[in-house]
Amino acid sequence: MNKIWKLFRFFILVCAAFVPSLAAQELPTVTISTEFGEIEIEIDTVRAPVTASNFLGYVDGGFYNSGRFHRTVHPENQPNDSIRIEVIQASINSQRSGEGFSPIPLERTNVTGIRHQDGTISMARGGPDSATSSFFICLGEQSSLDYGGFRNSDGQGFAAFGRVVRGMDVVRQIQQQPAEGQTLTPPVGILSAKRVEEL
């Protein structure tokens, strides 16, 4: 009986070791096609289900088609900020701004465990629980955007919900485009944002 129990425990441990990798393979991915090329993003529906579902709702509804990357933030264009970050920020098609969904609860990074690192995608917001459709992508580690960081004075951080798996060169190219302050001039167009179909 002991031998059977030991074999059973061994089997469970082996299966458990493969669960994270299997889960990672099953996460949905979205391709954002821009004027400068494609950015492919893995959406973490497991650890950030509310934020991920909200983003995918906007993707499936075609809201980002004809949207734009409108903001670039780098060390040289935030002179009044003591805590500096590097991100690019995008928004939906402005002609559909009145059709969006209600703001979602903030999924804090100390709960999800998804940190703001190079290539992390996260929701832009004003106050807590106010994010709707605008998102940003990090360039480099941006721990001040995590829970407890003070890029936002409330210290609640931002809701990270995925990561770039292809196209960081496109992200960097967008960040380096001409801007007035932090506003890209002109903005970089989003041609489409679509789920990657599973084979």
**What φ, ψ does residue 135 adopt, rounded to 5°?**
-130, 165
pLDDT at 191 over 60: yes
Query: Is 7 part of a structural domain of the chain?
Result: no
pLDDT at 5: 39
CA 147 from centre of chain: 15
Contact status, residue 48 vs residue 122, Cβ threshold 8 Å: no
Query: Is 154 part of a structural domain of the chain?
Result: yes
Query: Is 16 part of a structural domain of the chain?
Result: no
Q: Which domain holds residue 34?
A: 28-195
Round to whole Å and give the CA distance between 19 and 22. Answer: 5
pTM: 0.87
Query: Is 2 part of a structural domain of the chain?
Result: no
Query: Is 22 part of a structural domain of the chain?
Result: no
Q: List residues bridging with 32 in a β-sheet.
A: 39, 193
Query: Is 14 part of a structural domain of the chain?
Result: no
For residues 48-74, give the mean pLDDT.
98
> How many domains does the chain divide into?
1
**In the chain, pLDDT over 90 holds for what percent of residues?**
83
**What φ, ψ does residue 20 adopt, rounded to 5°?**
-60, -40
Query: Is 18 part of a structural domain of the chain?
Result: no
pLDDT band at 24 (very low <50, low <70, confident <90, very high): very low
Query: Is 41 part of a structural domain of the chain?
Result: yes
